[in-house]
Amino acid sequence: MSPSPRRRAALLAAALAAASLTVLVTGGTPAAAATCPTTASGGASVPFRTVEAECSATTGSAVGPDYTQASIASEASGRQAVRIGSGQYVEFTLPAAANSINVHYTIPDGSSGRLSVYVGGTKLGSGLSVTSRYSYVDTGFISGSKTHHFFDDARLLFGQNAAAGTKVRVQADSGDVGQATIDLADFEQVGGAGAKPANALSVADYGATANDSSDDTQAFRNGLSAARSQGKELFVPSGRFEIGSALQIDQTTVRGAGPWYTVLHGNNIFNNGGASGNIKLYDFAVFGDVTERNDGSPDNAFHGVLGNGSVVSGLWIQNTKCGLWLMNGASSNLTIENNRIQDTQADGVNFDGAVTNSALRNNYLRNNGDDGLALWSNGQADSGNTIANNTVVQPNLANGIALYGGSNNTVSGNLVQDTNALGGGYLVANRFNSVPLGGTVTLSNNTALRAGALDPNWQFGVGALWFDARDQAITGVTIRVTGFTAIQSPYEAIQFIDGNGQGKQIQGVTIDGVSVQGVGTFVAQSQTQGTATISNLSASGVGVTGTYNCPYPTSIPKMTFGGSGNSGWTGTWSDCSSWPAPNSGPPQPPQSGSNIARGKAISSSSSQGGFPPGNANDGNADSYWESANNAFPQTLTVDLGAAASINKVTLKLPPSSAWGARTQTVTIAGSTDGGSYTTLVGSRGYAFDPASGNTASASFTATSQRFVRLTFTGNTGWPAGQVSEFEVAAS
């Protein structure tokens, strides 16, 4: 059987979220979409679908890709965006039903206004309010920083439900801003506003009034006091409430009607000098008005102590300095989950010492002006904490996820994407006078996508995963890294350094089971001494050579690398007096058995709307290509970019049990010039069964081909050719 319509919608959502397609629209003359950026799985499960502007129909112009610090594109997701002027648009296709849009954009410095939104061809009465007020930030006190933080977010409820496949256009109409650069849009089906729980108190009963300019601080203080004394929740209904001075909270639950409905407006909503705990914050938004970073001011949505057993869940935090900055005392057994923290001037979340046995999980962070998530063992160790299944996109001046000292902390299942200057993807360090690393530090099953950057002070690259003995040697600690994936790292994948240039040792690091898929310079880069074990690391697309091992100062021994089972990254850089440019080394042959079709140019004789050929080699088994129905034969052709020796083709369908077993009849052919094809495997049936992974393969005698073509002449499960992954193995 074919997937049900509901399943089709889910798979279409996955396809578009993977951003591997060009969307065509009727009406107007949209420009050809840019090459869609590579995507990666992992990280947070979120209620919205993201569609990249550069993968959508547009009459605007492409911006990027560009990794240069202080360029607009360098801060965009995928390092690409679309610029529109008056009368131009980006038109997104909804990957799933939605009734809202959140656009990540930038406009010229000093400007503000609106952008028009059309849903299904009809212009909405209210557009997106856009401003540069929170952008173009300068932090001269941070060495190496340049003007940054270009993007911001604007959101809007449609006032209607739009089905999957609906066209949503963001356009600069007459009277709107004259120019905007659109990075992406998030689309969400937002539920209705939450009602006041039974037996809860409402802050409105204590004098809080929504959607006016009056200061609601005292009403909130009175409501918090009453809720605590009565052992009840404090409910905050829909609307925007002004919080002019910080609130203190302890042993109390505050619940909003949902982050799209309840907004607390202020720069520092909660500020606790002390608290025992059991603080529960649920389902509201915090929007600040922080236009510059001032590290002497606590301009954070939450600042201070959460105590024991507190929960922060379902918050949308935007335009504050930080999301949560925990300090001033001990906090433990916290749960910080399911939050959206974006466009902050500094960190998303920082555990500033003495936070223990707590979980940071399933949070989505974007465009934070410093570390996305950081454990900083400042004065007292952060210990026993877990950072799990979070997504961090485009931290501007630091790292995606950072461990500054501390003990027995775990980082697992996260996705860090598109980091910028002055940081990397994941950092483990003795830095910022932290309590030194101790116990066992675990990093497992994390992914870095386009993570790492050229450091403007050092003038060499920072890694997707890096270890820094800046304050003191990393010794007396066990650091275990397993299941790490680094994709398209601009510079090195893994780095060992003493950031103060004194050659302090790094010991106790074991790295096992790593996939490096494209790296600008080196797989492993060491600039200090010590020992590290790297095993079962498979690399492809190495830009210069396998290893850089040049300690500083030069008088100290080189790093000693141990391990086994590594492949695809031979060679050591020999000239320690120079730094090679990314991707300046000789082309490296693909590793035997590696899939050399992923991300390459791919075309088809036809495709069903929403299921383009790009879905068949995007690395995402849940997205798929489908040909026109009832029109066999159909072809799917991948261009490997250059002739390569190949000996196997593997075909996959989505692994979900929603796909019934089927047999597809396929011929496999190859070509050196894209014109004349030779049969590699004659027409035969390939059985796909979800019970065994919905995978089929064919091996053949090694042959040199540039183009590989599949010709479909039958499918017992649906009258079309269908492929979720078309893999070609190097011999």
CA 245 – CA 301 distance, rounded (Å): 12
DSSP per residue over 491-538, as a string? S-SEEEE-TTSS---EEEEEEEEEEEEEESSEEEEE-S-EEEEEEEEE
Is 606 in contact with 24 (CB distance < 8 Å)? no
User: How far apart are alpha carbons 220 and 452 in whole angstroms?
Assistant: 43
- Kindly state the percentage of the chain with pLDDT values over 70: 95
Residue pLDDT, tens place only, 61-116: 999 999 999 999 999 999 999 999 999 999 999 999 999 999 999 999 999 999 99
- Which tokens sit at 20? 């591997």
Q: Which pLDDT belongs to residue 3?
A: 35
Q: Cβ distance 520 to 550 under 8 Å?
A: no
Residues 6 or more apart whose CB falls under 8 angstroms from that of 198 comprise none
pLDDT at site 34: 54
Could you read off the pLDDT of 463-481 as tens digits, one per residue?
Answer: 999 999 999 999 999 999 9
What are the tens digits of pLDDT across the range 597-638?
988 999 999 988 778 898 899 888 888 999 999 999 999 999
Which amino acid would we find at residue 514?
A: V
What H or E segment, with its residue span, contains residue 256?
strand 253-256
Q: What does the DSSP 8-state code read for residue 674? A: S
Q: What pLDDT score does 27 carry?
A: 29
Strands 415-417 and 447-449: parallel
The reported pTM is 0.84
Number of CB atoms found within 10 A of residue 8's CB: 17
Task: Name the residue among 54, 91, 81, 63 with its Cα closest to residue 171.
Answer: 91
Amino acid 380: pLDDT:
97
CB of 351 closer than 8 Å to CB of 325: no
- CA–CA separation, 207 vs 89, rounded Å? 44
State how far the alpha carbon of 687 is from the alpha carbons of 473, 652, 691, in Å: 56, 10, 11
pLDDT at 586: 81
Cα separation, 376 vs 356, in Å, equals 12
Strands (DSSP E) contained in 389-446 are 391-393, 401-404, 410-412, 415-417, 426-429, 439-444
CB atoms within 10 A of CB 229: 10
Measure the CA–CA gap between 502 and 496, rounded to whole angstroms: 13
Residue 341 CA: distances (Å) to CA of 60, 104, 183, 186, 295: 29, 13, 17, 14, 18
**Start-to-end CA span in the chain (Å):** 35
* Count of Cβ atoms closer than 10 Å to residue 625 Cβ: 29
- Do the Cβ atoms of 644 and 705 come closer than 8 Å? yes
> Are 524 and 493 contacting, i.e. CB atoms less than 8 angstroms apart?
yes
The whole-number pLDDT of residue 622 equals 82
Place of tokens 């505050």: 254
CB 345 within 8 A of CB 371: no
User: ∠ at Cα 171 (167, 177), nearest 5°?
Assistant: 160
Backbone φ and ψ of 218, nearest 5°: -65, -35
Please name the residues in contact with 310: beta carbons below 8 A apart, sequence gap of 6 or more.
Answer: 275, 277, 278, 279, 280, 281, 331, 334, 335
pLDDT of residue 5: 29
Identify the segments of the chain with pLDDT beneath 50. Answer: 1-33
Structural tokens at position 461: 């690259």
pLDDT at residue 548 in the model: 98
